[in-house]
Structure 1
């Protein structure tokens, strides 16, 4: 049984029977048939589907957003923004896929050579709950444009979002089976990866799960794209605009109730401006309203599950016990719902839990550093390498420092965010491969060389 539990009330709102083995077999065969036909459809005929999907998403934005909020607790305004971002991304690939997938001519003597981009087939998408629409659409829009099919195994606490995603593509006119949701347990993923009809797998999730999926896919020699955990540094140098940095830091840490792999988690601040930054950060965080995520003025909703809140609270407690100073929050909110308040800890050191571990919730750890070199060293002193933010008025220096930071993306004087125009992904234990942009659409293609020799 797969359930929807409302994180505000802790009440089960819906129950679904998992697909049986027979149903999975039928769905896989239908997906394979749909993808074969889709791959033979000219690119120009595939792309209108993405424009129609964008329309369906916008037409149903209110309903889809409420579904997100009910299933995982995202504040409703943010949930609406998630749906709009999905629509924009569909339109981006509908308009730019011809350029990204066009044949490349290679100069050579007396031969005609080119590189073409063929679809791989069905791609299994193992997706998380924190951005239940966006995580799938950011993969599916380019993958479908390239001629692939999409098989969705979503997190089991968002089954209604999973079914709604399939329905959105069907409403837009996608061939039956091209986008298929499977309601199955995690234990069945290995069998899906090994299935002859599945060509590749993409996963967004924890590093631990990523290692399991990578091993399973590697055993059957199938392509993977893995977007895993993160412990993103937010570096504030002495010459930064401190007030603006603190304002953006509040959003960077507490958006989606802090439940994002690219939320800023470690705030590395030069000692000379640390007091000012901490004061401003606490002031902004104190203004955030925690409560019913269906209310439009709510800034921080509940965490998605009780065990996630328990883990975050353990990390906070261990960090404080080790000597950090608690300035804000620090304890679960009493009453029903998985609420945890915006929490700020100062004088955190690199050996403390909030600095060493990925904190997936509304808790900020401030680490004071003596200079930019120490900030970069500590930013890199983690197993993760997803994103990083760097705040300074000296842009030439910033560009130089950015090259030294070990991350898939460095945002200067801004917060780390995904953007359809830019490649997204990490290094080290944050995974490999890229989504979005020109690089993302080619991840699930066969980059094929076509060489033609001279005729006689």
Structure 2
């Protein structure tokens, strides 16, 4: 395969789906210029006009739901039901943005020193997004729709694994009425990506990926004084406190770990269970994980599909083996199956402790790390003993106390009490520490990539 070619491979069959030639540097520069030129016109459109097109994109996504879902499942191996729910989510993001964007981004009149003043939210230009493969629609939509609503142009460098999904989305946006070139999907290499960041027409960069990739992109953009928003994964902790409903905790934590084949930044990953509940939780959790069968992600009954690539599967298996070598105990799973497809079984590790990948790092696949805590306070200490801080959860019958713990003590960006969730269009999404910075979704996300201008008019007092 040529070094100048991207390719997509079906994780179920290990067969080639399609190949795509990388752009030349000149072609890439022209694509960026075309996006900027489209932005120069788009920025002058009213908020209401932009919202109408974004609403049309939401409807177009619903109309293309089955086709888009099948493509995502083919490219990255996600369960067909999860692909459909992803399309539902991105359509809901469009609905929220169209309904709320004009009000959130409208000029605000204020009184300042007796004069009339306005705060306006102006677009900044071309926003460059570098996105991963695990949610081919959602990762692209969540930043692009907010950026477009704000009046910006958008570039998407999608992961090679889901190149087809990125192009599908581009074509769908344009069918729904978005000006050609305003949402551009350059097919480029990692080396070319740095040149995009360096391009003077690119004003901001957002990345979802590893903390290593985030450091690199932030350093490059920072050297050029360009704004970044980073979402860099996590090893989200779910606390099972002394007064937790164990049945609810087990059921929810199993679903939270294997959602999207375990390949989600906000999957429930570490389960920190107090001493009095630990053994009962482990027994019930292992029983449910042992019953999870791998299968064809296109089949409605399948509960666990393949991982996206052999490299991802092999990395996960190595992390499990390293954890066991350093003291963790394997209770179920942990063996690479002899079959076609990049499958990894539902796996449970206990006796998880600092120094093991299962404790320290992000395990991107269906591997649960169960950690014993002395009591509720120790559970919170362990949850915060991480370089990451994206999401997390608390199981407790005392909801008021759990809310207080979440607000005052849990050092993470999103907390779910007695539940597991991924994202909501109306709530900010993002993390702290090595999980990154900045927010997407909600009013906060709509204002991430705008120039907040202060305009003060002398002689026009209130």
Range class of TM-score, shorter chain? over 0.9
Tell me if the contact between 2:25 and 2:192 (Cα under 8 Å) persists in the aligned partners: no
Tell me if the contact between 1:350 and 1:367 (Cα under 8 Å) persists in the aligned partners: no
CA distance in 2, matches of 1:288, 1:141: 36
1:140 paired residue number? 144
* Counterpart among 166, 170, 182 of residue 162 in structure 1: 166
* Counterpart among 1, 8, 20 of residue 4 in structure 1: 8
SS, match of residue 205 in structure 2 = strand
| Count of aligned pairs | 456
Q: What is the CA-CA distance between 1:120 and the residue it aligns to?
A: 0.8
Q: What is the CA-CA distance between 1:384 and the residue it aligns to?
A: 0.4
2:38 paired residue number? 34
Q: What is the CA-CA distance between 1:240 and the residue it aligns to?
A: 0.7
* Counterpart among 268, 273, 277 of residue 273 in structure 1: 277
Q: What is the CA-CA distance between 1:373 and the residue it aligns to?
A: 1.1
Q: Deviation per CA, 1:276-302, whole angstroms, max 9, x where unpaired?
A: 111221222233231111111111111
CA distance in 1, matches of 2:243, 2:222: 47
1:369 paired residue number? 373
Q: Deviation per CA, 1:342-400, whole angstroms, max 9, x where unpaired?
A: 00112212332200111111100100101111111111111101111011011221122
* Counterpart among 214, 237, 241 of residue 241 in structure 2: 237
Tell me if the contact between 2:115 and 2:460 (Cα under 8 Å) persists in the aligned partners: no
CA distance in 2, matches of 1:47, 1:102: 12
1:191 paired residue number? 195
Does the alignment pair 1:420 with 2:425? Answer: yes
CA distance in 2, matches of 1:52, 1:109: 43
Tell me if the contact between 1:226 and 1:431 (Cα under 8 Å) persists in the aligned partners: yes
Does the alignment pair 1:437 with 2:448? Answer: no
CA distance in 2, matches of 1:98, 1:171: 22
* Counterpart among 290, 293, 296 of residue 297 in structure 2: 293
Does the alignment pair 1:120 with 2:144? Answer: no
Q: Deviation per CA, 1:3-23, whole angstroms, max 9, x where unpaired?
A: 011111111111111112232
1:57 paired residue number? 61
Q: What is the CA-CA distance between 1:223 and the residue it aligns to?
A: 0.8
2:338 paired residue number? 334
CA distance in 2, matches of 1:394, 1:455: 54
CA distance in 2, matches of 1:250, 1:106: 50
Instruction: Give runs of aligned pairs for residues 1-400 of structure 1, distance below 5 A.
Output: 1-400=5-404
CA distance in 2, matches of 1:385, 1:290: 30
Q: What is the CA-CA distance between 1:105 and the residue it aligns to?
A: 2.4
CA distance in 2, matches of 1:385, 1:285: 26
Q: CA RMSD in A?
A: 1.2
CA distance in 2, matches of 1:52, 1:202: 25
Structure 2: unaligned runs, 5 residues or longer: none
CA distance in 2, matches of 1:302, 1:169: 30
SS, match of residue 155 in structure 2 = strand
SS, match of residue 160 in structure 2 = coil
CA distance in 2, matches of 1:239, 1:401: 14
SS, match of residue 207 in structure 2 = strand
CA distance in 2, matches of 1:232, 1:434: 17
CA distance in 2, matches of 1:333, 1:389: 32
Q: What is the CA-CA distance between 1:455 and the residue it aligns to?
A: 5.8
Tell me if the contact between 1:385 and 1:408 (Cα under 8 Å) persists in the aligned partners: yes
CA distance in 2, matches of 1:17, 1:189: 15
TM-score (norm 2): 0.97
CA distance in 1, matches of 2:260, 2:339: 21
Q: Deviation per CA, 1:71-109, whole angstroms, max 9, x where unpaired?
A: 111011100110111101101100011221122222334
CA distance in 2, matches of 1:326, 1:455: 72
Moved over 6 A (4+): none
